[in-house]
Chains A and B, each alone.
Chain A
């Protein structure tokens, strides 16, 4: 090393190029860091979560029981702090919501959202150029609109199409009190009646992420210290939502067959102009808890019709084995037909359609009326209007999935969970029900984590942060999707705490 240092010193002091060598110069002058112009080092990480569905919800509308509400969320972890930040839907994607109304594992209806970007003033790259009091304001420089289409399918081929809405407005990112003094008004302007089946409503835009959980449950996989869970790690983060409320009769096969199965997919446009499916999501946590890590991308590219290929992961789940190793709670006997019902076929007499083909869909029995006092544990707590019969915004799906994994549906009572039982924001009483997004004004000051660490043995390369909002800066939040770890997670609420009273 000293030889190099010496010769570098010599180099630095020798007649030099256009001035002094900076540290960078010295670094790149170390031989062995050859750079060839022929080798174009293109980006290797894509980090574009706007193409990934993060959650799907489907429930009978509590205030309009003859309608069904469906929500698809993408682009989680939108951080209003340290901003202003803004986020958008991809305009080279097709966001599809599929409805299978006869249980054959194939979609019969498909709702498709496609988005367009608009810039009012191309000379400036600001999101907004002053206070925004209405979606029409000239001060809202960047906007998105969307088209909504419904496609009727037979044997997975389109047989009829209809435009339900064109150029509908998208609710903007909530960039703060100064820019958007009355965000509720902007939200309301983005809720639109559409002429589908005699009375439907649509909304697309930013909202508070309704999902709640303590991400640190994942640390359990590595025997992590769980004494501190109970924080909603998604608190204060926003998400992009697409939601739709339609008369239930437009979705179901008939009065006698009221069970529908829904799932979301995203197709992304390829360089060749084709469309490739890059994301798929029905029930929550399946791709995290059930599907092994190496098959996640495959699952995202596949269709429910072919879910036979994933059957063994449901019948022989990894998670209970892990729990047994760490917590000595005996894993239920396999094959797990109870999980096959919860995840693939629906539960008999609850939400299983006749002649069902096992397929991963969020199955909702639309004939079960909504309840005025929903229970966070849904079906597990005797409230059949909640997950896994569809999914409401307030359902504590993490605890439900965990308890089901450990055999709750087999009558094996347990009380597992992450100690986060509800969302930090209250949901609305009418469509779109989603809480308003947090803004930079609401967010607490962010303390950036220090770069130096035991792991890198010194400070990393700092990068300058500039907080001017430019359009190029509409990057998706990086740093981790909600459900990031291969096999899943688990947390046992500390037994030292008073156990929650629960009736079974």
Chain B
């Protein structure tokens, strides 16, 4: 099945979230009324109507180029826009805006420091993010942005206990959507999906803007999907899509859910729509695996080959392959490249995700003894993840530890039987080869 080439290479096709829902009159003040607006206060930026808010701030800054706080606010708006749109060209602009703010006000500029922290996190420089967030908190211990980024950085550095403490503290000082969503994720990583659900429902109850509703509902969907609760997940994704029609993360979640519980056609339709707009390794692999499960090997291979091209491109430009690509490569591409990428990432940050990716890449390269060590590390903090359990079970089977292998393969399928259309199939086959779950 071949789609017509997208005709317009329009910038609007970039928008992933943040449609201007009605009522989200971002940047409305002043700008809309033909007067030069005072700049938006950082705290009052919202995820909706960002383009207009940015326009208003730019207009203001053309008139008042010495306004340090507005430069920081503009930078934060750029970071948010990059997050919701996947447009990376906003990062250098954000960097310039923060630098400008800090040169105008080098001392006590917590807004610019918190903004710079969020930019570092977006670029996956989590140590830099932590450093800047801590600096911002020295100036203003109540900075919501800094408190939130601090949680992100600690999570991505694998410091889950510290992340939990940071999230609890952020919740007690500055409750709100940025903090609730992070606390929910930390709880899930600590193996407490019920707690995560409680917090995310609290966030959903508190969300008012379309972009926040879409984000929180999608997070609820992902949480439910991870526990194999497909009906709950589907309901959450449709809430997200009602708030922001076409919201890609929700579309992807809905697609994966449909594929997981046997509605292949609908699932593939959603995943194709995602990949058309956002051809990234994890999404391409999800679509490829759905094709494969349908028995369409050649279409599947085409998806995997785009991931391969991505990795080739990345290497040619001296960029380390990221974790997602490493996992896809381990399953569907160059296993050696996968191992290199996973090792590099593990050296940068020791998280459950990097441990699992390294374990899987080692196994695919025949190094099962070492692989097991990392698979066990991935299980350490208690995060309930079917793919992790499947990887571990397969590694144990290769090592001849049938009992453990059976236990973990069964646990994977019990938790989330459709965690991956191809992975689930392989898990069932391996379990059968081991004589079934006993």
Interface residues of A (CB under 8 A from B): 3-4, 7-8, 11, 14-50, 77-79, 81-88, 90-92, 125, 215-216, 218-219, 221-225, 231, 233, 236-237, 268-272, 274, 276, 278, 292-295, 297-298, 300-301, 446-451, 453-456, 459-470, 472-481, 484-486
Contact = CB atoms under 8 A, between A and B. Distances in A.
A35 B280 contact: yes
Contacts of B144: 46, 297
Residue from A18, A82, A474 having most chain B Cβ neighbours under 10 A: A18
A489 to B, nearest CB: 9
Interface string B95-131: 0000000000000101100000010011010000000
Given A478-B44, A479-B29, A271 B171 contact: yes
**Which 6 A-B residue pairs are closest in the complex by CB-CB distance?**
A47-B46, A19-B3, A297-B142, A20-B5, A34-B322, A475-B24
B41 interface: yes
Contacts of B306: 11, 14-17
A399 B187 CA distance: 51
22 contacts: A14-B306, A19-B3, A23-B9, A27-B89, A32-B88, A34-B324, A35-B322, A38-B156, A44-B83, A90-B208, A233-B33, A271-B199, A449-B32, A453-B62, A466-B21, A476-B46, A476-B208, A477-B29, A478-B48, A484-B38, A484-B41, A485-B39
A19 B272 CA distance: 9
Nearest to B38: A215
Given A3-B316, A18-B275, A21-B279, A456 B58 contact: yes
B132 interface: no
Residue from B33, B85, B149 having most chain A Cβ neighbours under 10 A: B33
Interface in B51-65: 51-56, 58-59, 61-65
Residue from A29, A50, A88 having most chain B Cβ neighbours under 10 A: A29
Contact of A20 (B63, B213, B276, B351): B276
B52 A449 contact: yes
B47 interface: yes
Given A215-B38, A294-B108, A480 B62 contact: no
A198 to B, nearest CB: 38
Contacts of B183: 271
Given A18-B275, A472-B242, 12 more contacts: A20-B6, A24-B14, A27-B87, A28-B88, A44-B118, A47-B47, A215-B30, A223-B66, A450-B55, A470-B22, A475-B21, A480-B41
Contacts of A125: 242
Chain A binding surface SS class = loop
Nearest to B310: A29
B422 interface: no
Contacts of B205: 91-92
A25 B140 contact: no
Residue from A46, A92, A448, A455 having most chain B Cβ neighbours under 10 A: A46
Contacts of A86: 23
Interface stretch (B172-180, B229-237, B330-338, B361-369): B172-180
A27 B58 contact: no
Contact of B110 (A14, A216, A294, A476): A294
B219 to A, nearest CB: 7
Contacts of B244: 472
A103 to B, nearest CB: 28
A88 B41 CA distance: 21
Contacts of A459: 11
A477 B276 contact: no
A50 B34 CA distance: 26
Contacts of B317: 3-4, 31-32
A427 B181 CA distance: 42
A16 B301 CA distance: 10
A468 B29 contact: no
Contact of B44 (A82, A461, A480): A480
B437 interface: no
B429 interface: no
Given A45-B45, A48-B177, A477-B28, A453 B302 contact: no
Contact of A50 (B48, B86, B208): B208
A35 B175 CA distance: 27
A233 B33 CA distance: 9
Interface in B249-286: 272, 275-280, 282, 284
Contacts of B143: 297
B418 interface: no
Nearest to B26: A478
Contacts of B172: 270, 272, 274, 276
Contacts of A33: 86, 88
Given A45-B76, A237-B29, A297-B140, A17 B302 contact: yes
Contacts of A84: 22
A485 B38 contact: yes
B64 A224 contact: yes
A368 B203 CA distance: 47
Given A17-B287, A270-B171, A484-B38, A473 B23 contact: yes
Given A32-B319, A43-B215, A18 B51 contact: no
